[in-house]
Chains A and B, each alone.
Chain A
Amino acid sequence: MCFKKQFFLLLIFAAALGFRVTAQTWVVPDDQKAVTAPAKFTPAMQKQGEQVYTKNCQSCHGLPGKDNWVKLVPPPGDLAKEKAQKQTDGEIFYRITTGKVPMPEFRNIIPEDDRWNVIAYLRTFNPKYVQPEPSAKTAFTGRIVTLAMQYSEPVKKIVVTAHEKLKDNDKAPAAGIEVMLYVKRFFGNMQVGDMKTTNAKGEAFFEFPADLPGNSAGNVDITAQVNDPKNQMKATPAAATLAIGVPTSRPGLTETRAWWSTRGKAPIWLLLTYTLSVLIVWGFIVYIVVSVMKIRKLSQG
């Protein structure tokens, strides 16, 4: 249709204009370009990648191969097309990991495995693609730590215990591990207390606030994580749902009648005021019109 074509031309024009203004090249360092996937792509990985793509990428990049990406500035483009596909796996991985406004940085949103899975999925749209040799894994030499967590009633504290795997596959308490505790709130995780370091027994104690609201049963979702900003360890966090919050049953903000709710959930007093005002004023108007119509009958001569 003519209307559509013109509209899109306009959008593309706008986008092009924007590109000129804000175009900054998105360079990937050479060593990152050379990075390859840790394993050969399998159909299972591709399938998993499709899910990750649908959830995280499709909203901007559209369906691969369909060129229906959202008209942003700079344009996201179709990742099944040449421009994206001619890049190395390492290049794409780097872009997903770091992002560039308006594309989000997925470093902390999508786990590394899944980032590779998306690439596996995207490569299925490129028949010419031949996967380079997966990077041989160098043996990991850092500490391998697993956290566990429980609530200790006598001391009224959350006890996080860290264990580490030793060379001979034995387990031993891990001392000197920096641990942080989070409780899940409406918009994400909230840190509880300060960071603690595990003692010789691998234990860290967290005081839990007595007034923290939980769900109607008082349950709160708590996670413990190792503080490892330089990625030197392999750490498995601990998660638990504990009934140590204050039982709270507060309806969600959109579940009650309110200004900001949907039409069906308008405040009663507002509905009444609106309806009554309309009825009263229009009642008068109708009354006036009806009585004016009587003038015709009242004429003489």
Chain B
Amino acid sequence: MTMDDNKLTFDKITSDLTHHIRINKGFLVWMGFLTVSLVACLYAYSLQLRTGLGVAGIRDYVTWGLYLANFVFFVAASLIGMLISAVLGLAGMKWITPLTRIAETIAVSFAAVAGLVIVSDMGRPERLAYVFIYGRPQSPILWDVTVIITYFALSLLLLYLPMIADMAILHRKGALPSWLKGTYKCLSLNFTDTPAQNRIINRSIRMLLILLVPMALSIHTVTSWLFAVTSRAGWDSSIFGPYFVSGAFVAGSAAVIIAMFFFRKNYKLQDYITDLHFDNMGKVLVTVSLVYLYFNINEFLVPGYKLQRADAIHLTELFSGKDACMFWIVQIGGLVLPILLLFFRPFRKPLPILVISIAVLIAAWFKRYLIVIPTQEHPFLPIQHVPQNFVVYTPTLVETMITIGPFILVLIIITLISKFFPVIPLHETAVEKGVEDV
């Protein structure tokens, strides 16, 4: 630790971790910007609602376009909550404490919005309920809907439970507007730090963490099955589950690092989120990236060695054809290079690792594009007697805006959560540092 723990008092921790909870100009400007952007995207969606999915570039052959790529990306990003809180947490790693809430916030917001992303791909969104009413238990689509809702509920609880004690502190300490204090009081459930209360919270959190592991694995495995249970080239793969899960950890770790960087800078949390955290997250990122690289090698080398007919067409387009440029930038720039760089400590310093993480995250999005779209451009039967725009998928402007919308929504949710709640668990930090509330 860079700071002298002895000097810490409970009041100092409280003020350090909660001073950002106030409505300032920067917040209003940022939220204003997000709201205006969101309205623009909603306008694009209203066009789609009125005119139909024809406003998007998706046609008979490529029916899953940006929306589905985006959906896979969102589900992927939400998985990080499980890696940080559950896997590292249950393994007893103490350094993750200041990062758990960031990870959970990312998980909750991406999981919540993932559901909306899929609705944007529906021609008749008002029939959403039919998925449940008429869903076939045999279909991975029903499983996916089920596990995403469940994962969202678990993540929300896991975000909330450690916050109960913080709410109580905030309610008592902060010089805040009364409506905000009222909200904190209500959310704190009158928590008074009694052993019985703490027992309930700790036990519940533990249960959640244990449930979270299989649920998180399920959501991304089932999402991968949406593709892998069909026999099409590029999707017909038995390692799609772990391939997706490991890819999700890569995207999620990068997202957490980016969020860490901005929270630390904007909310002045340098004493809590230290270089050591970036260094450790860098090691996490390089580890999951290596696993992902391993699955990538399997996913491309094995069919690439055999080059069966349909695979050959698909892989040739990826390796040296129409999609080659995007493919190699994503694979090298978003996976191989980051791994090589992150092996070295200087690159795990906050600024370099921020840049690397942004590259990784952008590449992760385009990787989803490469997983979803090219396969559909190479059906088993030749494409004939259709207009040119059926043959090659080109996203439209409206479609792009509808795709950007969910990102803005995620940013809004993350901003609101981080603005009105401590980004770093307050009570837990105090307990770990051994300073008790007096």
Residues of A within 8 A of B (CB): 2-3, 6-7, 10-11, 14-15, 17-18, 21-22, 73-74, 101-102, 259-263, 266-267, 270-271, 274, 278, 281-282, 284-285, 287-289, 291-296, 298-301
A22 and B154 contact, CB distance less than 8 A: no
User: Are B204 and A292 within 8 A (Cβ)?
Assistant: yes
A77 to B190, CA, bound (A): 73
Q: Is the CB of A7 within 8 A of B143?
A: no
Expressed in whole angstroms, the Cα–Cα distance for A246 and B146 within the complex equals 46
Q: Which residues of A contact B146 (CB under 8 A)?
A: 274, 278
Q: What residues of chain A lie closer than 8 Å to B143, measured between beta carbons?
A: 274
**Interface positions of B from 178 to 203, Cβ below 8 Å from A:** 189-192, 194, 196-197, 200-201, 203
A298 touches B200 (CB 8 A): yes
| B387 contacts A299, C-beta separation under 8 Å | no
**Inter-chain contact A263/B161, CB cutoff 8 Å:** no
**Complex CA–CA separation, A2 to B204 (angstroms):** 54
Query: Closest CB-CB distance, B209 to chain A, in whole Å?
Result: 11
Contact assessment for A296 and B385 in the assembled complex, using a CB-CB cutoff below 8 Å: no
Q: A73-B387, A274-B143 are in contact. Are A299 and B191 (CB under 8 A)?
A: yes
Q: How large is the interface on B (under 10, 10 to 19, 20 to 34, 35 or more residues)?
A: 35 or more
CB distance from B159 to the nearest CB of A (A): 13
Binary interface encoding of chain B residues 37-59 relative to chain A, with 1 for a CB under 8 A from any of its CBs, else 0: 00000000000001110100001
Whether the pair A288, B208 counts as a contact (CB closer than 8 A) is: yes
**Are A271 and B137 also in contact (CB < 8 A) when A18-B385, A298-B194 are?**
yes
Among B54, B134, B153, point to the contact of A263 (Cβ < 8 A).
Answer: B134
Are the CB atoms of A7 and B52 closer together than 8 Å? yes
Minimum Cβ distance to chain B for residue A253 (Å):
14
Task: Mark contacts of B201-219 with chain A using CB atoms, 8 A cut-off: 1 yes-contact digit, 0 otherwise.
Answer: 1011001100100010000
Number of A-B contacts (CB under 8 A): 109
> Is B389 at the interface (CB under 8 A from chain A)?
yes
Known: A11-B54, A295-B197. A102 touches B385 (CB 8 A): yes
Interface of B, secondary structure class, is: helix
Asked whether A14 and B387 contact (CB < 8 A) given A288-B207, A295-B201, the answer is: yes
Q: How far is the CA of A22 from the CA of B271 in the complex (A)?
A: 67
**Neighbour of A262 across the interface among B54, B136, B384, CB < 8 A:** B136
Main secondary structure of the interface of A (DSSP, over half): helix
Residue of A nearest to B157 (CB): A288
Complex CA distance for A34 and B297, rounded to whole angstroms? 65
Question: Can you list 14 A-B contacts with CB-CB less than 8 angstroms, sorted by A residue number?
Answer: A14-B387, A17-B388, A22-B386, A73-B385, A274-B137, A281-B150, A282-B150, A288-B157, A288-B204, A295-B189, A295-B197, A298-B194, A299-B189, A299-B192
B197 x A299 contact (CB < 8 A): yes
CB pair A270 B190 closer than 8 Å: no
| Contacting pair A7 B54 (CB below 8 A) | yes
Q: Which B residues between 374 and 395 are near A, CB-CB below 8 angstroms?
A: 384-390
Most B-side CB within 10 Å, residue of A2, A285, A298? A298
Show the binding face of B for A, using Cβ within 8 Å.
50-52, 54, 59, 134-138, 143, 146, 150, 153-154, 157, 161, 164, 189-192, 194, 196-197, 200-201, 203-204, 207-208, 211, 215, 384-390
- The answer, among B150, B191, B215, for a CB contact under 8 Å with A295, is B191
Q: What's the least CB distance linking A286 to chain B, in Å?
A: 10
Q: What 4 new A-B contacts, CB under 8 Å, besides A6-B51, A263-B137?
A: A73-B387, A281-B211, A295-B197, A299-B189
- Distance between A291 CB and nearest chain B CB, rounded to angstroms: 5
Contact B387 A18 (CB under 8 A): yes
Q: State the Cβ distance, B80 to closest chain A Cβ, in Å.
A: 20
Chain B residues with Cβ below 8 Å from A285 are: 150, 153-154, 157, 211
A292 engages B161 (CB within 8 Å): yes
A294, B207: Cα distance in complex, Å: 17
- Beyond A21-B387, A291-B204, whether A270 also contacts B192 by CB under 8 A is no
B-side contacts of A2, CB under 8 Å: 50
Q: Is the CB of A292 within 8 A of B150?
A: no
A96-B386 Cα distance, complex, nearest whole Å: 22
* Residue with the highest number of chain A CB atoms closer than 10 Å, among B59, B134, B388: B388
Closest-CB distance, A300 to chain B (whole angstroms):
5
Q: Which residues of A contact B203 (CB under 8 A)?
A: 291
The residues of B that contact A101 with a CB separation of less than 8 Å are 384-385
User: A261 to chain B: which residues have CB within 8 Å?
Assistant: 138
Residues of A within 8 A of B161 (CB): 292
For A21, the chain B residues whose CB sits under 8 A away are 387-388
B211 neighbours in A (Cβ, 8 Å): 281, 284-285
Find chain A residues with CB under 8 A from B200 CB. 291-292, 294-295, 298
Q: Which of B135, B150, B189, B390 has the most CB of A within 10 A?
A: B189
